[in-house]
A and B are shown apart, each in its own frame.
Chain A
Amino acid sequence: MEMEREKREEKPKYKFNRLETLKLIGPWVDAHWDGLRVAKKEGKKVAWSMGPLFPIAYAMDIPCHFHAGYAAYCGGRKGVPPLLEAAEAEGHILDACSYHRLHMGVISAIEKKLPIREEVMLPTPDIVLSARLCTEHTHQSDAIYRHLKVPTIAIDIIPAHRESDFKMLENYTKRQLTEVAIPFLEDFCGRKFDYDRLSELLAVLKKASEIRNECWKFFELVPSPWTLWDWGVSIAPVFYLMGQPKTVDYFQQLKAELQQRVDQGIGAVHPQENFRVYWDGWVPWSFLGPISRKLLSFGANPIVGKYPWEFFPHPEGIDPNRPIDSIVEQWYSYMMSTRSSPEFALPFIEESVEKYHLDGMIMFASRTCRLWNLGEQDIIDEIERKYGIPGVVLEADMIDPKFFSEGQIDTRLQALFEMMEARKRRRR
């Protein structure tokens, strides 16, 4: 039967206004990962950093990767599936961290000379620096060592459960760095550790993250001139691109562009920002496109989240004259994964609800990483009870497409926005 009704047309009603400054990031990250391959070809030593130890490699002028940064890059460049397949062909189980499997896929590709696109490949490391931010990190470096047999050192950054434990755990981590990791690196390089260079890097990082935090304040404005995804893309200049003077320029330019938008009344979502949502958990690097499109179809802007605060959030705590102390104190500072439990997360989210005028919460649960997803339903219930805003858990993964179902995410997000719309109508 021919349906004699007018067909419903679904034209995209909203679009994101892209920030010009963000366009700088793509070429920089390309250059970083390309730089590792070039360095290796030129006979230089290169490092892999499983966890946040790359600053000590940079201080010794060793080109270094950062595992989560690489996974994000690979996800953004659509390079993940063949590498995960390579890992699975080696028998790596699907429930293991997809970032880890990605690296095991790289190792398999190196060993078997698999035809992987060069731009998403890593060179074989000459040294592996591992620091446990999650329970799997040290096992990951162990697995890498078993294959590559290159010098590998792992330190343990133990999560804290009480404020009163921070100092003790910080001291334990500092001692591991100064008494184990740095001597290991000195031995590998055949020279003394360059504390002065680390101080220089931190001085630039301090400046860059100061301006970055000023940019964060723009999220308080309604409409917001930018999105959490923009903030996520801007992590690299304060993380694995840290210490480069251009990163300070980047945030200055970004801040100026955000201010210009505010002056001109331009928001991130065009023509209007309908909903402001909190995003919890990983930025879904491989699936940003479909998730963004879905959010955008409701005029929703992901405003804030705690994951992007993982990366050097407290410039005031960075003292270039105390470089090792500064780094460790940042690891144990507010919002780092060393404080991943709901007890630490809840106050941040509660504060965010009012400060950023949030309408709802999206808890992104990564199937192969539960680090940020402890007590997510409890958090939703608590926030709903206190502030009357709804939330939803999205189950997927950071990068593994096997755990991503667009249909399921679609239904959950639409249901969330239906609840948010109903509450808005009631308030009106």
Chain B
Amino acid sequence: MPEIYAGIDVGSLCTKVVILDAGRNVLSSHILRSGGHYQGAAEAAFSGALESAGLRIKEISFLVSTGYGRARVTFSDTHVTEITCHARGAKHLFPHVHTVIDIGGQDSKVIYVNDEGRPKNFVMNDKCAAGTGRFLEVMAGALEVSLQEMAELSFHAQGESEVSNMCTVFAESEVISLLAQGTEKADIAAAIFRSIARRITGLVGKLGLKEPVVMTGGVAKNPGMVRALEEKLRTTLLIPPEPQIMGAYGAALIAAEQSD
């Protein structure tokens, strides 16, 4: 029976699964909202990915879980942090990568990757949620637009509004105040992305910018965020075809290595 490997990334917002064949090719992937039950989300996402690949659970040779709920996935063979998994995934797709920026639901990370695709050093946001996926969701909610709409709006910004990058709650209040003052939503959307970009730039500054830089995580799918970050960092970000599954992809690659 050919070896099949799987990675499950149970994040605070979404759970992602990637299944690989022996040649490290993606057989299937699945993404769903984590909700409040990590174990249930992991099982549902894993089932979805298995079904897409036409596989049964017994055919999985090795399974690695990662993300905030990694320890809750009791049916995984081992669990590894998302820091290691994003580094591994990014290195596999972009062999020359030096820096990985992952903006997750609840954490932002900047990871230096060594030649073997392992983290050499990393920094994460402190306890504040500013600069994370959750922050973006709250801001989109305040603007009453979807994340995609917020990105599109930001490209039409004319003015130079400012949003604090200190605290999600304060920033939400600021957005509401700006709306009340009649500021264009487009200007506010651009200000929100800039505020996150400042925050991430601060994290990058702790390690020093080392190119090439890969951006992973669901937030990398947001063109408004990517543009703001590229402008602030003054670099071009390399974005995987499906950045949101990079943690699960890295976990599956590690599963394959464990099996070697």
Contact = CB atoms under 8 A, between A and B. Distances in A.
A7 B83 contact: no
Contacts of A347: none
B90 interface: no
Task: Point out which of A7, A380, A412 has the most chain B C-beta atoms below 10 A from its C-beta.
Answer: A412
A8 B77 contact: yes
A4 B116 CA distance: 34
Given A377-B206, A418-B119, A395 B127 contact: yes
Contacts of A10: 71
B170 interface: no
Given A1-B43, A3-B57, A415-B81, A407 B68 contact: yes
A426 B114 CA distance: 12
Interface residues of A, number: 31
Given A415-B81, A418-B81, A367 B76 contact: no
B183 interface: no
Interface in A1-33: 1, 3-8, 10
A414 interface: yes
A164 interface: no
Interface residues of B, number: 33
A384 interface: yes
B187 interface: no
B121 A390 contact: yes
Interface string B47-64: 100000000011010010
A8 B74 contact: yes
B232 interface: no
A7 B42 CA distance: 14
A408 B75 contact: no
Contact of B84 (A1, A391, A418): A418
Nearest to A410: B71
Nearest to B51: A1
Contacts of B58: 4-5
B210 interface: no
B172 interface: no
A4 B82 CA distance: 25
Contact of A411 (B82, B118, B126): B82
B28 interface: no
Contact of B123 (A5, A377, A403, A405): A377
B173 interface: no
A408 B107 contact: yes
A1 B47 contact: yes
A148 interface: no
Contacts of B84: 415, 418-419
A422 B121 contact: no
A393 interface: yes
A381 B110 CA distance: 14
Contacts of B94: none
Interface in B81-106: 81-84
Given A414-B81, A419-B120, A7 B75 contact: yes
A380 B121 contact: yes
A415 B119 CA distance: 8
A411 B67 CA distance: 8
Contacts, number: 75
B32 to A, nearest CB: 14
Interface in A154-196: none
B75 A5 contact: yes
B153 interface: no
A386 to B, nearest CB: 14
A381 B81 CA distance: 21
A407 B83 CA distance: 14
Nearest to B74: A7
B27 interface: no
B161 interface: no
B76 A415 contact: no
Contacts of B78: 8
A4 B80 CA distance: 22
B240 to A, nearest CB: 20
B191 to A, nearest CB: 25
B102 to A, nearest CB: 12
A374 to B, nearest CB: 14
A393 B120 contact: no
Nearest to A414: B81
Given A411-B83, A418-B83, A4 B68 contact: no
Interface string A392-426: 11010000000101011011101100110010001
A397 to B, nearest CB: 10
Contact of B127 (A390, A392, A408): A408
B11 to A, nearest CB: 11
A93 to B, nearest CB: 14
Interface string B227-249: 00000000000000000000000
Contacts of B155: none
Task: Point out which of B63, B76, B81, B116 has the most chain A C-beta atoms below 10 A from its C-beta.
Answer: B81
Contacts of B123: 377, 393
A8 B118 CA distance: 25
A395 B118 contact: no
Contact of A4 (B57, B118, B121, B126): B57
B118 A419 contact: yes
B26 interface: no
A8 B81 contact: no
Nearest to A397: B127
Contacts of A5: 57-58, 60, 63, 75
Contacts of B122: 392, 415
Given A377-B206, A411-B81, A411-B83, 14 more contacts: A1-B47, A3-B43, A3-B46, A5-B60, A5-B75, A8-B77, A384-B120, A391-B121, A407-B68, A411-B82, A411-B124, A418-B80, A418-B81, A419-B118
20 contacts: A3-B46, A3-B57, A8-B75, A381-B121, A384-B120, A392-B122, A393-B123, A395-B127, A408-B107, A410-B71, A411-B68, A411-B81, A414-B81, A415-B83, A418-B83, A418-B84, A419-B84, A419-B118, A419-B120, A426-B116
Closest 8 CB pairs of A and B: A415-B83, A3-B75, A5-B75, A415-B81, A395-B126, A1-B47, A7-B74, A377-B206
